[in-house]
Structure formats: structure tokens, C-alpha cells
Structure 1
Amino acid sequence: METKTEETKTDQKRRAIRQAAADCFARYGYDKTTLDDIGKVIRLNKASLYYYYKNKEELFIDVVLQESAAFMTDLMTKVATIDDPAEQISTYLTERLRYYKQVLNLHSLSIENLQTLEPQFEQLYTSVLQQELDFLETLMRKAIPPSEDARQLASLLLNVADALKHKAVRDAGFGPTHAIDYSEVEHETRLLTKLILQGVNA
């Protein structure tokens, strides 16, 4: 059984591995990065890396989750400076979409690998999505009558926004992720937000 000190050392080592992996993914892209590349940066052999991560996919997801959590914190701060509640919601939803595209482009992730990793992302994103839902519910409460279910509407918006995002990925086939056109998704997300808010405030 690990002691508290050993757990802390493990966390520190995972953090160092995660940073090395983030640098490699940004430099070489996800597809071309190997565990050997990451091991060379952190001065660990592949066998030692397997103690902390089962495979490259798990390590990549951990990197993106940590980056996403930091981004969401910054985005929440940015949205809080906007006065109009409806614009707060639209900005939040469109900025998270732009960040998703940024992640794909930064790590040169192919659509084929993205589709392979998507189920793992959805499973591990639970804590981040919960944070998003809580925040969006707070924004929604300022934009709708008290009699409406703010959490249900927040969940609906997140689910539909993500569905539109996934549709854009599927429609792109197996080309490069930078070729995915998210402009229509942004437009539809803003339109959906407008229609929902107009409907509940009518």
C-alpha cells in the first residue's frame, strides 16, 4: 500500500510525464509521437512509463483533460465579464467549440484517431462536463424565468452543441482535422441558444 508521500511522488512523476507528453504531442503531433519519444524527454524507459500510463492513448487523454480544465477556468472568468446573459451563454458555447478545434490542430490529431479516442474522451470528461453543466446552469438562471428548469435547459444546450460538433467530424470523413468546418456549427449553436431563450421568455 502506498504511503501519502509515495502518492505525492507518483503525482509529481505523472505531472512531469504529462508535461513531456504535451511537448511531444505539440511538436510531432499525436500520430507520430511514440512513448519512446516521451521517455527520452523525461528520462524514463518505456517499461517505466507503463507503470504510470497503460498506453499512449490514456496519456494523451490525460494531457487534454488537464489542458481543458485550465481552459474552462479561464473561459468562465472571461464570460463573467460579459453583461448580457444570452451573450454569456452563446460566447461560452462557441468558445468551447473553438478550443476543441484548437486542441485537434495543436496535436495534429487525425480524424480516424479522433473517432477512435472519442469514446474514451466522453467517459473521462465526466468531471469536466459536470463543471460545465454547473456553470452553464448558473448562466441560464440569469437568462430565463425562475419557473423554468435551468439545469435541464443547460444540459440540453450542451448535448445539442456536442452533437453538432460530432456531426461535423463525421461529415469530414477521414481527412485532416484542420479541414473540418466548424463555422456552421457555431452558427447553429448561436441560433439554437437564441431560439431556446426566446421561447422560454415569450
Structure 2
Amino acid sequence: MTEALTSEKHQCILDAAQQRFARYGLAKVTMDEIAQDLGMGKASLYYYFPTKESIYKEVITREQNRFIEQMAALLREPRPAGAKLRLYLERRWVYLNELLNLSAINVHTIHQMKPLFGDLYQRFGQRERALIQQILDEGRETGEFAVADSCQTAAVILNMLRGLRFYYFKTTDALTVGSPEYQKLCADVALMTEIILHGITAPAQK
């Protein structure tokens, strides 16, 4: 089997598995079902991936790469740094919601999945922080932002976003697009973005 064919089959497996994960969630999907969707034997599937978790990790990695590449391209477009940060935070939640659909994740499964996917979480966080830092550095250079330590500030912004997301995980059984909880989270992310960009201190009286 040539390298090109192997790579093509590899991507076909990821595509088929991603559709099934999005429909049923990680816990309910089996290797047999993925093989059946592809019209291949389970033994052939094991040639490429030893477990469904290994497939899922590659699906997530692929989606992470796509998100980072898309955001990097958007950040290269000419717009103010504040607009770039606002856009990034908005697109980030859309992306994360798509990932949630791939796993049917909730607060009860987060801790169970952490040992399996903690490395992906850490690497993605590092890449996210670098993108946010890039925006902050650009804003500082243009005089739009007053940031002393862009690396630390980027880390704090990222942790704030994570904290808000996990708060909703803990208080909501299912966070689905269009639900009141989802709309509230989107509003909170927008408010947090404005606080980051403009603060809460009233303008000085003239």
C-alpha cells in the first residue's frame, strides 16, 4: 500500500468516525460501528488505529489544527487588535461547542476524559495562548493596548475563558446551541470581552 493511499484511508477513517462521534458521542461509539460505516473489516481498522480513543484523539487534533490555522489566517487580516481579540473569543466558543458535540461531554465526563486527552488540552492551550499573545503584542505596538506582560496577560485571559466555560458545565446538564444557557454563556463571553478591552472604570470627568 502506497503512502498516499494509506494517508487517504487514514483521513477517510477520521471523517467517518467524526460523523459518528458527533451523532452519538465518544462513549457510545464502537470500533465495529466505525468499520461498518467504512465498509471495511474491523481487523483492517485496527491496522490504522488500535482503539476508538486513538481515533478520537486524532479527530480532535485535526480539528484543533484547523481552528488554529483558520484563526491565524484571520489574525493576519488588517483590522484593529481589539477587533481581532473580539473575533477570536467569539470564534473560540463556536469551535469549542463543535468539539463538545463530538464527545457529548458534560461535567460528569470531563474528569474521566482528562487522563486520556490531557496532553491535547495542554498543547492546544499553549497554541491558544500564543495567538492571544500575538494579538496583545500587536495592540501594544500600535498603542491600542497598555499591556506590560503580554504572555502573562494572555494566560490570564485564557484561564478566565476556561473558568467561565467550566462554570456552565457545572450548572447545566446539557449545553446545546440555541438553549437559554447557551445564549447566556455567549452573552457572558461578550461581556467579558468588553471588560477586557475597556475595563469597568468610569471615564474621567472633564
Same fold by TM-score, threshold 0.5 exceeded?
yes
Q: Describe the SS at the equivalent of 2:58.
A: helix
CA distance in 2, matches of 1:169, 1:94: 18
Question: How many residues matched?
Answer: 193
2:57 to 58, 61, 64: 61
1:95 to 88, 91, 112: 91
User: Counterparts in 2 of 1:18-33, with a 5 A limit?
Assistant: 18-33=14-29
User: Counterparts in 2 of 1:1-202, with a 5 A limit?
Assistant: 11-81=7-77, 83-105=79-101, 107=102, 109-111=104-106, 112-144=108-140, 148-172=148-172, 175-178=173-176, 181-198=181-198
Kept in 2: contact 1:89–1:139 (CA 8 A): yes
CA distance in 2, matches of 1:61, 1:181: 28
What one-letter code is carried by the residue in structure 2 that aligns with 1:127?
A: R
Q: Relative to 1, partners in 2 of residues 1:78 and 1:58: Cα closer, same or farther, differing over 3 Å?
A: same
Deviations 1:152-172, CA, capped at 9 Å, x for gaps: 111111122112112211221
CA distance in 2, matches of 1:82, 1:11: 36
Q: Runs of 5+ in structure 1 lacking a partner?
A: none
TM-score (norm 1): 0.74
Deviations 1:118-166, CA, capped at 9 Å, x for gaps: 4533321343333222221110112235761111111111122112112
What one-letter code is carried by the residue in structure 1 that aligns with 2:127?
A: Q
Q: Describe the SS at the equivalent of 1:181.
A: helix
Deviations 1:62-95, CA, capped at 9 Å, x for gaps: 2122123213322333344462211211220121
What one-letter code is carried by the residue in structure 2 that aligns with 1:176?
A: A
What one-letter code is carried by the residue in structure 1 that aligns with 2:128?
A: E
Q: Pairwise CA RMSD of aligned residues?
A: 3.3
Q: Describe the SS at the equivalent of 1:142.
A: helix
CA positional deviation for 1:52: 3.6
Q: Describe the SS at the equivalent of 2:57.
A: helix
CA distance in 1, matches of 2:78, 2:182: 23
Residues 178-187 or 91-100, more deviating: 178-187
Q: Describe the SS at the equivalent of 2:104.
A: coil
CA distance in 2, matches of 1:114, 1:147: 33
CA distance in 2, matches of 1:180, 1:18: 32
Aligned identity (percent) is: 27
What one-letter code is carried by the residue in structure 1 that aligns with 2:165?
A: K
Kept in 2: contact 1:80–1:88 (CA 8 A): no
What one-letter code is carried by the residue in structure 1 that aligns with 2:152?
A: Q
